[in-house]
Structure 1
Amino acid sequence: MDYLRELEGKSAHDHRRSINKKTKMPPTCRFVAGPVIIGAGPSGLAAAACLKERGISAVVLERCNCIASLWQLKTYDRLRLHLPKCFCELPLLPFPQEFPNYPSKQQFVEYLEGYARKFEIRPIFNETVARAEYDLSVGMWRVRSVGENGEEREWVSRWVVVATGENAESVVPEIEGREEFGGAVVHTSLYKSGEGFRGKRVLVVGCGNSGMEVCLDLCNHHASPSLVVKDTVHVLPREMLGKSTFGLSMWLLKWLPIRLVDRFLLIVSWLILGDTAQFGLHRPPLGPLELKNSSGKTPVLDIGTLAKIKSGDIKVCPAVRRLTRHTVEFINGKKENFDAIILATGYKSNVPSWLKEREMFSERDGLPRRPFPNGWKGESGLYAVGFTKRGLLGASMDAKKIAEDIERCWIDEGKHLTALARSLSPEL
């Protein structure tokens, strides 16, 4: 990487002046020698660390006031990692040995903050990206952002790494009669604890891991939760045969085809959990791993919710048709009174709202068009990390690939610039 220091010392100023002249950039424009990473969640941190390890510094832009804002600001208090820590660590730094196998939310945030310190990652906070577009005239990306005080900036770089992830914006469905309901209707991004719902009847809409865990938390705080299950769902025990279900699955896939592993998981789940269909939790036709690969839908890893459903502490309900005053009408015609509704309806990407590019990312869902493991790289120096639908493990895999690819490009372009400089100035 010595060539970069040479370039910065001898020609970077001229390069910036040349770009400014060609594009007539505003005074707030900043040339970035390395990549611009958009998002300071686990994926953005992983990409920045992998680049730093190779001697490449990046500018990290984050719209919130902290790293991992989804974890710090939009998750419930009792949250723990659903997978063992060995599958959730970021590249180059394992979790502390004293952490439990399933670290808490607070421990995970502590790990991420230590990760940023170790690799000297200093995101620019409260910086919201409004537009990112490739400028063909100069062969650079132009990223426009708005700071906390409304100041507009433009960042010019050869590379852009999109690290805003699959969970950038809450999905809040339209429900007929919501304004008439009268009680609280909140997304899980605003839910912290069941303490505020003690003694109340609460309807949780959505039966993924978050919806299931919120129901359990409500039970533990002496609320009366009901769970809307409108689709089929795979519920698996978090651990099988003394090992994590996920870890066991990964080990079995080394030796067996995915369908046989799925069959094994379902047999063991039936032995441990029983037939979930009799409690209103019908399984999809595809096995849990096949379904994950084809649609990205994650199976629920049960941590006690199913026992509460079996005991009647949590009631399973069909889809909602409409709301009236403190009343929910379901699609089967039944009506029940509730004090509050919690929407465990997930999140979505917001990439199409600011990235002016139509080849790599789908405008429909904001995810890379090419499926895993090929969705990490686009054209003209555009990359994506955190969009694999395979959690932190998938993000770590892509972060390593991105750093390797940018380093290769960095070295090749550096050699070209050095050769050009020597041809113009033989004494260099």
Structure 2
Amino acid sequence: MNRNPKCVWVPGPVIIGAGPSGLATAACLKEKGVPSLIIEKESCVASLWKTKTYDRLKLHLPKQLCELPHMEMPAETPAYPTKNQFILYLDAYAKHFCIKPILGVEVRSAEYDSTMGFWHVLSNDFKFVCRWLIVATGENAEPVLPDISGVSDFKGRVSHSSSYKNGADFKGEEVLVVGCGNSGMEISLDLCHSGAQASIVVRDKLHVLPREMFGRSTFGLSMLLLKWFPVGLVDWFVLLCSRLILGDTGRYGFKRPEVGPFQLKNSTGKTPVLDVGTLANIKIGQIKVVPGIEKFTATGAEFIDGTMAKFDSLIFATGYRSNVPSWLKEELFNKGGHPKTPFPNNWKGKNELYSVGFNRRGLLGVSMDAQKVAEDISQQWNSETKHLRTEL
């Protein structure tokens, strides 16, 4: 740690994170005439999308629900953009709004000076001083690896989905995918298409829904219905349609929770799985469904039903977590790195501290947060008659 970091006064907000959340917030602020500064620990914008996603990834929702504020995706972009198409959009977005983050700056701590009324954001080489601080590092900052007995004894390859690119290196292998969310389901499908035998662990109950119903996005159609009908009725309708399209998912190892998919998402943030073809391969036995893991062995795994199986590789599709608690000790966030106040009031805390992208509503939620934050800060900015613009 540099004991004499360069102190920099930032007249507008400091935004931590140059992913979609940070870019959207900077663009919304710029549209309202408020300058901002983004600092990012990685060497590029949208680093999660560029370095920690698999090749076959496509957006699960139609592009209209994934666009950031004030800029549509190109007309030629397909309904469900690929990873690379979305990355191109993010790069074009940053260029369009002249957003130029300071890259390679990792925040070590962020503290509010109540005496002076400013935030001090400390990195190795800089201390940024600002009135407004916006946390836009997102919910997916650090990979999660569960602590399961025996994993250190396993002799094969062990990796996290963040390092998975495609199934070419796994051809001919028996691969156990731990985690049955959207990433785990899609990686299992990719492995299947690449000539590997994939098995996916399904420990808990979950909702598997078709990506589309009646030629429309299931999620988009549900959002439309939720404007007119109660969530319980919409859940009933979606589950009925899902049963007609996918059949009884419980027969294949996916038992549904007692609570409907959108009521469950509202209460816990748990997103239903949108099927893109994995279930069809499960039905014909090309992808196996296995129960929860009791422990790992040197050659494979023992499951909670007492059965055992051998595997060449393990892939943990067990998600990510926020890293905010490691450097921010303020009341807006809990120990898990999420805002204490639930949606829709999650975006603002005390002392001009804000969060964007922590409402568990994906890219649509990012846009909602960014616009609220920009509106709130712009009102304060425009009410001021004088702003310091000098570097300390």
Q: Which interval holds the TM-score relative to the shorter structure?
A: over 0.9
1:96 equivalenced with 2:68 (yes/no):
no
Partner AA of 2:78 in structure 1:
P
**Structure exhibiting the larger radius of gyration computed from Cα positions:** 1
In the alignment, structure 1 segments of 5+ residues that lack a partner are: 1-24, 147-151, 419-428
In the TM superposition, residue 183 of structure 1 has moved relative to its aligned partner by 0.5
CA distance in 2 between partners of 1:310 and 1:344 (Å): 21
CA distance in 2 between partners of 1:170 and 1:260 (Å): 36
Partner of 1:105: 83
CA distance in 2 between partners of 1:144 and 1:398 (Å): 25
CA distance in 2 between partners of 1:313 and 1:208 (Å): 18
Partner of 2:373: 402
CA distance in 1 between partners of 2:317 and 2:378 (Å): 40
Partner AA of 1:36 in structure 2:
V
In the alignment, structure 2 segments of 5+ residues that lack a partner are: 388-392
Provide, for residues 377-423 of structure 1, a one-character-per-residue CA deviation record: whole Å limited to 9, x for no partner. Answer: 011110000001000101101100111111111122x23x49xxxxx
CA distance in 2 between partners of 1:290 and 1:336 (Å): 36
Q: 2:216 aligns with which of 238, 243, 262?
A: 243
Cα RMSD (Å) of the superposition? 1.1
CA distance in 2 between partners of 1:278 and 1:145 (Å): 53
Partner of 2:316: 343
SS in 1 for 2:123: strand
Partner of 1:423: none
More helix by proportion, 1 or 2?
Answer: 1
Q: 2:152 aligns with which of 174, 179, 188?
A: 179
1:126 equivalenced with 2:104 (yes/no):
yes
In the TM superposition, residue 145 of structure 1 has moved relative to its aligned partner by 1.1
SS in 2 for 1:128: coil
Provide, for residues 342-368 of structure 1, a one-character-per-residue CA deviation record: whole Å limited to 9, x for no partner. Answer: 0010011110000121x21102x1100
Aligned positions of 1:43-58 closer than 5 A? 43-58=21-36
Partner of 1:383: 354
Aligned positions of 1:155-304 closer than 5 A? 155-304=128-277
Partner of 1:153: 126
SS in 1 for 2:147: coil
- In the alignment of these two chains, the number of paired residues is 385
TM-score, normalised to structure 2, is 0.97
Partner AA of 1:52 in structure 2:
K
SS in 2 for 1:342: strand
Q: Percent identity?
A: 59
SS in 2 for 1:154: strand
SS in 2 for 1:129: coil
Partner of 1:28: 6
CA distance in 1 between partners of 2:349 and 2:243 (Å): 43
1:68 equivalenced with 2:39 (yes/no):
no
CA distance in 2 between partners of 1:392 and 1:161 (Å): 17
CA distance in 2 between partners of 1:309 and 1:198 (Å): 18
Q: 2:338 aligns with which of 358, 363, 367?
A: 367
SS in 2 for 1:112: helix
Partner AA of 2:73 in structure 1:
F
CA distance in 2 between partners of 1:327 and 1:137 (Å): 58
CA distance in 2 between partners of 1:74 and 1:360 (Å): 28
Partner of 2:60: 82
Partner AA of 1:240 in structure 2:
M
Poorly superposed stretches of 4+, deviation over 2 Å: none
User: Is the deviation greater in 26-35 or in 96-105?
Assistant: 26-35
In the TM superposition, residue 56 of structure 1 has moved relative to its aligned partner by 1.3
Provide, for residues 158-215 of structure 1, a one-character-per-residue CA deviation record: whole Å limited to 9, x for no partner. Answer: 0000000110111111121222111011110010001100000000001100000000
Partner AA of 1:300 in structure 2:
V
CA distance in 1 between partners of 2:268 and 2:28 (Å): 29
Considering Cα pairs closer than 8 Å and 6+ residues apart, tell me whether 1 or 2 has the greater RCO.
Answer: 2
Partner AA of 2:127 in structure 1:
E
